[in-house]
A and B are shown apart, each in its own frame.
Chain A
């Protein structure tokens, strides 16, 4: 089974821009993986941010956007806010299964 890779940690300044990526050991990430992004804050259940690589949930702030970039799925945060400090997980869809990445701890500092 493929392993889904993410940066373990990233730091962004308030108001800054950062891109989190999501790769697959089985090859390029494509729209066929229907990439998902989830946000999880300490002590809370995760929440869906992005589905199908770039579609936003109704609650997803406009400063978040999803894309495919260089064979990976990407989550870009433009204009980071302190409340965006959280863990971010991607999930890729494979035949009959979903596989989460290890998560990226995003610090806004």
Chain B
């Protein structure tokens, strides 16, 4: 069975960086693009970008370019999201989501359980 398990909640100060992990099981990480989506408390979903774990190529939403880095370690089937220069409005639940079809860019299945990142002084 395909699962994505994310790392635990984080509390960070403004200006710091956070790195969230997403461990894949039940399939080969390098075979499917991994996307990241975030959701601020009580707010909607926001697409952040994707990584192709096969070759490390990334595509970031314009809003996050310069602050976001998506990486992977295929040896441990894990994808990572790093967000730098954190601000209070980066407080959100961050989800990883597998793009389960090469023909459908945003067909996500499954999703990770989410990681709450709180940015507070």
Count of chain A residues with a beta carbon within 8 Å of a chain B beta carbon: 23
Query: Which residues of chain A are within 8 angstroms of B104 by Cβ–Cβ distance?
Result: 34, 51-52
Known contacts A34-B105, A52-B104; A46 and B45 CB within 8 A of each other: yes
Of A34, A97, A102, most buried by chain B (CB within 10 Å of CB) is: A97
Question: Counting CB contacts under 8 A, is B114 at the interface?
Answer: yes
Count of chain B residues with a beta carbon within 8 Å of a chain A beta carbon: 21
A34 touches B106 (CB 8 A): yes
Known contacts A1-B62, A45-B95, A99-B47; A91 and B109 CB within 8 A of each other: no
B112 touches A45 (CB 8 A): yes
B113 touches A45 (CB 8 A): yes
Nearest CB of chain A from residue B114's CB, rounded to whole Å: 6
Of A34, A45, A48, A57, most buried by chain B (CB within 10 Å of CB) is: A45
Scan A25-51; emit 1 where CB is below 8 A from any B CB, else 0: 000000000101010100001111001
Query: Which residues of chain A are within 8 angstroms of B44 by Cβ–Cβ distance?
Result: 89, 100-103
Known contacts A1-B62, A45-B114; A91 and B47 CB within 8 A of each other: yes
Question: Counting CB contacts under 8 A, is B46 at the interface?
Answer: yes
Other than the given A36-B106, A99-B47, 15 more pairs (CB < 8 A) read A38-B45, A45-B112, A45-B113, A46-B37, A46-B111, A48-B107, A48-B109, A89-B44, A91-B47, A97-B47, A97-B61, A98-B47, A98-B106, A100-B46, A101-B44
Q: List 24 A-B contacts (CB under 8 A).
A: A1-B62, A36-B106, A36-B107, A38-B108, A40-B45, A45-B114, A47-B109, A47-B111, A48-B107, A48-B109, A51-B101, A51-B107, A89-B44, A91-B45, A91-B106, A93-B106, A96-B59, A98-B106, A99-B47, A100-B37, A100-B44, A100-B46, A103-B44, A103-B45
